[in-house]
Chains A and B, each alone.
Chain A
Amino acid sequence: MDEPGNRDPHGVRFDLITEVGRVLQSARSVEQILHDIVDLVAGLMKVDGSSIFLYEDGALKLKVYKGVEEESLEPVSVELGEGAVGEAALRGRPVAVLLDESAPSFISQYCPEPVHSLLCVPMLEDDSLIGVLNLHHHGDRQYSDVEQGFASFIASQLVGAIRNAQLQEEILRGLRDMATLHRVSQIVSSVLDEDMLLDLIAQTAAEHLHARGCALRMLVPMTDQLELRSIFGFDPQISPPKYIRVGYGIAGKVALEMRPFVSNDVEHDETIAGEVGIPLKSSICVPMLVKGRLIGTIGVFDRTDPDTGRIVPFDESDVGLVASIGAQAAMAIENANLFDEARRLSADKELRIKELSLLLEITNMMRSTLDLEEILYIILTSVTMGQGLGFNRACLFLVDENKAFLRGAMAVGPATAEEAQQSWNAIDPEGKTLAELVTEYGRYNMSAGFNTDKRIRETRIPLDPEKGVVARTALERRSFHAVHYSSPEGSEETVLHELNFTIFASIPIVAKDTVIGVIVVDNFVTGEPITDDLMNFLQLFANQAASAIEMARVYQNLEETNKRLIDARDLLVRTKTLATLGEFSAGVAHELRNPLVSIGGFARRLMRMLDADAKEAKYARIITTEVENLERILSQILEFVSGGRPVRKQVDVFLLLEQVFELFREQMHRAGVVLSTDFEEEARMLWADEVQLRQLFINLVKNAIEAMDETGGALTVKAIRMRDETGGVGLEIRDTGCGIDQEDLERIFDPFFSRKAAGTGLGLSMCSRIVESNHGGRIFIESARGEGTAVLVWLPEETVVKPDAAPPDPI
């Protein structure tokens, strides 16, 4: 017990945990976190050095060593089972060893000073290995259980922090992909000359993937030849073959199989070198398809690290990104073709050119936002404005997720002739850009509260050919020009009839080969005919609308996925912290109990031996009381830790609550607290651990009463059976006491967090453990300073006792 670091195993204080938490929870890169943690650990554990290995590609790689800059760190790789580090990793528990000088050790490879004692602590997440945390000391060093526990605690916290940082990097990457796609779509929709377009696509793809080069090949119509149309990033001296046959080489295979190709090892593949004219290391190649028909391939080569210039491998997300760029490019190329065709057909019609540039302007406007509602808004106002396509009215239906219904999403335009007059007089088009007019016109239409929009939004048309022409537009994927039309009897579509749509056009919106919606337009006020030309133009417009809608949806999905990930991560971190902190506290608490027994015991004896009035007796009494307090706190900590496995049986919750109220009857009376209960009989019997539920109720009722200790007030306890899809039982314990500050609410369930003078900070974290970990429920707190607090406990459906039903599986 003479070693300096071993002197005081109980001295590991809880505020150190806070320090570790502070370092780990500051959101930064993995490298920074590792760096800070080795410094901190070496300081806290009083050892000479500390290092961290992470488990990557089947081996443990040295990532950080205290006091050594990342650049000067020797590359060290250790197999599982090799040395103490490998052994700790293999066994999944700490390994402490003393190294003698003759022992072959990779440690000496990277430690500038001799190491004699080594403690290796594995970092695990759900039993899977993340890495190993090592403590180095030049002298003899024994690690107590508490110290090992503390090191394990830090290791487990580190896992959470690393996961956090990695997740953050993933999210940033996801956002980068979105930004690239958005940029590509902006470019491709603003350029309608095909050669320029192809060059831009190649350049954008290469730049955003940090690839050395990109090659675009297009299928020559009516042949099996892929023509090299654009190449970016290569020496102009190099001339790759201009034509490749479908089925030959990488591009040829991709074209034949219509499947993406990725490889990070094509260095020795002659065909690839032949295709682009120079040797390459890695390649992604994807087909470009329009409505399932191949129009070409897009290939990127040699991804490089922008900082070092070194070539790094492609991964799965890169393939996805290239595929999306390919899809965007395909659509743009198709549009450019349509544009060319349209230009040829109507060379003599100046009007058509005007329409097409209008289309371009609208398209650009749609590309400027990722908000779905806003895109729909731009689409419909553009269709209906005099400066736009000039239809009197437009409605938009979107296919729902299950592909069972067309859901009315939005409508623009008046329901009656009078409304129409108002809307046109309200806007003065003089000297305004189309974008300004769209905004103004749209705002007017929305604020005018035309019936059309309201009615259409309420409409659901089943995707059934019997239901009329709108459903058929989506099902048959073709446009209809309906004249003097009336919807089938009893169809949801009759809403169109009620809104006076008698002569109208109905056009499918197709994105990536799937119908995502239908646009319905008419000219019910002016009675102007809907020409075939106008129908064609509308179809062109619908294609643009489709890709804008699709983009917004992808973006929305990404956002929702991110949010779910973040929520799940928070819950995981909270649960993990509780569990490891609990184990660590148990170790400390037990070590403290023995000395406390003798201190308190002897103080008690002193007290008895001394004259009761003597000063010494008073001091002994103070020691006795304080030790009793400490013992009580220890019991609470241990109770928290061993809250453990619940033993479920049928519990009469109301009876249990009444017993708990009885415990506090006297205290409530003194404080002037009035109790009222509202119990629903169906919430009475639960499959639960009676001891733990009692503990839960005692904690919650005690907190509520203490909050009203000085003021008195009302304690309301409710139990209800949840009848909606949530199921289960809800319990509410509400007081009218002092309330909790908003900033404290976030930490209220953290162990050792307390604002009470004599609190241990374990009560509510124990409650959360009982409800969430042990009974699969959720616990929430609502509170406002000075207004009181409500604790809401939800226990899931499986805890409800039902006649003839078996008890739930143990958790």
Chain B
Amino acid sequence: MKKILIIDDDQSIREFFKDELEEDGYAVALAATGQEGLEQLDADPAGFHLVMLDIKMPGMGGLEVLSRIKELRRDLPVILVSAYDTYKMDFSSWAAEDYIIKSSDIRELKEKIRRYIS
């Protein structure tokens, strides 16, 4: 079973994504901060197939988390999921595989996840 790590400081959003993705047959792990997410990854680097990462979080920001993830596992696909569309312009210079704006309609998100782990 493919395993996805969701790092987001908003609890409702974490749960919403988890329920949706589990229904589609993924295993889902949750982290409320960047630190927490990195610890989980560090404990089992090979166990994850994709990370969904929020950008604006208290404590360690999404972009720092991103570079740490890539230090741990260069090949692990990361999708940035943000409420900000302003970052989209800068996204191409970052190491993330994709960027998506948070929306209650998550068909596009699911489409992207399928593309990276099929």
Contact = CB atoms under 8 A, between A and B. Distances in A.
B105 interface: yes
Contact of A604 (B56, B86, B105): B105
Contacts of A600: 103-105
Contact of B13 (A586, A594, A635, A641): A594
A639 B89 CA distance: 12
A638 B16 contact: no
Given A594-B10, A594-B13, A601 B83 contact: no
A631 B103 contact: yes
A593 B105 contact: no
Given A595-B12, A598-B13, A605-B19, A642 B85 contact: yes
A597 B16 contact: yes
Contacts of B16: 597-598, 601-602, 605
B10 to A, nearest CB: 5
A760 to B, nearest CB: 16
Contact of B104 (A597, A638, A642): A597
Contacts of B84: 590, 638
A51 interface: no
A593 B20 contact: no
Interface in A610-661: 624, 627-628, 631, 635, 638-639, 641-642
A690 to B, nearest CB: 15
B85 A635 contact: yes
Interface in A553-611: 586, 590, 593-605
Given A594-B10, A597-B102, A598-B104, 5 more contacts: A590-B84, A597-B103, A600-B105, A631-B103, A638-B85
Given A602-B16, A605-B20, A624 B104 contact: yes
Chain A interface mostly helix, strand, loop or mixed?
helix
11 contacts: A593-B83, A593-B102, A594-B10, A598-B10, A602-B16, A604-B104, A605-B19, A605-B20, A631-B103, A631-B104, A638-B85
Interface residues of B, number: 18
A635 B38 CA distance: 32
Chain B interface mostly helix, strand, loop or mixed?
loop
Interface string B72-104: 000000000001111001000000000000111
Interface residues on A, range: 20 to 34
Interface of B: 10, 12-13, 15-16, 19-20, 56, 83-86, 89, 102-106
A604 B20 CA distance: 10
Nearest to B19: A605
A600 to B, nearest CB: 2
Interface string A129-164: 000000000000000000000000000000000000
B12 A598 contact: yes
B104 A628 contact: yes
A638 B20 CA distance: 27
A628 B105 contact: yes
A109 B64 CA distance: 45
Nearest to B88: A642
B86 A596 contact: no
Most chain B CB atoms below 10 A, which of A586, A590, A598, A599: A598
A601 B106 contact: yes
Interface in A419-447: none
Contacts of A635: 85
A605 to B, nearest CB: 7
Nearest to A623: B104
A179 to B, nearest CB: 54
A603 B105 CA distance: 11
A595 B12 CA distance: 8
A571 B86 CA distance: 27
Nearest to B12: A598
Most chain A CB atoms below 10 A, which of B13, B19, B104, B106: B104
Nearest to B104: A600
A499 B104 CA distance: 86
Contacts of B102: 593-594, 597
A19 B105 CA distance: 36
Nearest to B8: A594
Contacts of B20: 601, 605
A590 B104 contact: no
Nearest to A595: B12
Given A601-B20, A605-B19, A605-B20, A596 B104 contact: yes
Contacts of A602: 12, 16
